[in-house]
Amino acid sequence: MWVYQKKLEYPVRVSGPNPRLAKVIITQYGGPDGELSASLRYLNQRYSMPTDKARGLLTDIGTEELAHMEIVATIFYKLTRGVSPEQMQAAGLGGHYAQHNHALFWSDPEGVPWIAAYVQATGDPITDLTEDMNAEQKARSTYEHLIHLSDDPCVTDVLRFLRQREVVHFQRFGEALNDLQGFLSSKKVF
C-alpha cells in the first residue's frame, strides 16, 4: 500500500503560461522514457527480484517516480492553465486540445500515446536491473534536452532536480546489480 502526502516532492513554480514548453515536457509524463514508464517498470519488476533488498529498492524508486510523474503533471497543468484554444493550437497543442481540452494525458510531444511496450520485465534480475540503469540514463538525457528547450528558469530549476534524481537512481540500481552479481565482503558501511 501507499501513504499519500498532499505535497510535491519538489515545489513547482512557473513564470507564466507557456504551452510551447508544455508540449515538449509532456514527454516526461507519457513518453517512452518518462515517469509513467519508470514507475510502472520498477513497481512491476520488483516481484521477480531475488532479494528483499532489491525488491525494496525497486519499491522505493518506483514510488519516487510516481511522485515525479505528479511533478511533471503539475508543470504541464500550470503551463497550460488559462491558455486559449487558439494559443494551444499555435503552440502545437491543437491535437491535444481537441482530444483532452486542458486535461492531462500520457503521450509524447507528437501525441503518440503511452504503451506498455516501452517497458520490459524478463524475470532475469540482471537483465532487468541493467534495463533500469539504461532507463535512468535515458531519462537523464531527456531532462537535459528539455533543459535546453526551456525558456522558463523556474521550470528549468525543477527539471534540474528531476535530472539529478536520475543520477542517484542510476547509482542505486548499479549497487543492486553489484549485490546480485556477488559482492564478496560483508563489511559494507551503509
Partner 1 sequence: MNSNGYQSTFIYPYPNIPGTPNISAQPGVSMPMFQFQLAHAYVPWHYMGQVFNPAEALAHGTLFPELFSPYRG
When the beta carbons of 55 and 138 are compared against Fe ion, the nearer one is: 138
Please name the residue that has the C-alpha cell 540503469: 133
The cell numbers describing 2, all together, are 501507499
Provide DSSP, 40-57. Answer: HHHHHHGGG-SSHHHHHH
Of the candidate spans 28-36, 48-56, 72-80, 178-186, the one that interacts with partner 1 by CB under 8 A turns out to be 178-186
In angstroms, what is the minimal distance from the CB of 96 to Fe ion?
A: 25
The answer to whether residue 166 forms part of the interface with Fe ion (CB under 5 A) is yes
Binders in 124-153 for partner 1, by CB under 8 A? 130, 133, 143-144, 147-148
The rounded distance, in Å, linking the Cα atoms of 173 and 178 is 9
Look at residues 71, 11, 16, 10 and name the one whose alpha carbon lies nearest to residue 38.
Answer: 71
- Give whole-number Cα distances, 137 to 32, 46, 70, 142, 163, in Å: 13, 20, 20, 9, 9
Closest CA to 75 of 130, 124, 14, 134: 14
Q: Which does 170 bind (CB under 5 to 8 A by kind): partner 1, Fe ion, none?
A: partner 1
* 10-29 residues near partner 1, rule: CB under 8 A: 10
Q: Quick one: which of 33, 12, 67 has its CA closest to 140?
A: 33
Question: How many residues interact with Fe ion (rule CB under 5 A)?
Answer: 2
- Residue whose CB is less far from partner 1, 59 or 130: 130
Residues 169, 181, 183, 190: which binds Fe ion (CB under 5 A)?
169
Q: Does 41 bind Fe ion (CB under 5 A)?
A: no
Q: Give me the 113-152 binding string for Fe ion, x by CB under 5 A, dash otherwise.
A: ----------------------------------------
> 190 CB contacts (<8 Å, ≥6 apart)?
none
Q: According to the binding rule CB under 8 A, does residue 171 interact with partner 1? A: yes
Rule CB under 8 A: is residue 5 a binding residue for partner 1? no
Q: Give the count of alpha carbons within 13 A of 149, CB side only.
A: 18
Contacts with partner 1 by CB under 8 A lie at 10, 130, 133, 143-144, 147-148, 160-165, 167-168, 170-171, 174-175, 177-178, 181-185, 187-190
